[in-house]
Amino acid sequence: MRTASGLTWSISVLAVVAIVGVTSLTGQTPATGPVFTAQQAEAGKQHYDTTCSPCHGSDLGGADAPALAGPDFAKAWGTQTTADLFKYAQGMPPGGTPLPDDDNLAVVAYLLQQNGAAAGATPLLPTTAVKISGIATGKRPPMAMAVAHRR
Ligand code: HEC
- What global pTM score does this model have? 0.81
DSSP one-letter string for 4-30:
HHHHHHHHHHHHHHHHHHHHHHTT--G
Using the mean position of ligand 1's atoms as its centre, give its distance from the Cα of residue 144 in Å.
26
Q: What is the pLDDT of residue 33?
A: 81
Per-residue pLDDT of 95-109, as tens digits, reads: 999 999 999 999 999
The larger pLDDT score, comparing residue 145 to residue 116, is at 116
Residue minimizing CA distance to atom 12 of ligand 1: 65
Please enumerate in sequence order all residues whose Cβ is within 8 A of that of 78, keeping only pairs 6 or more positions apart, or say none.
131, 132, 133, 136
Is 88 touching ligand 1 by the criterion CB < 6 Å? Answer: yes
The listed range with the strongest mean pLDDT (3-7, 10-14, 28-32, 117-121) is: 117-121
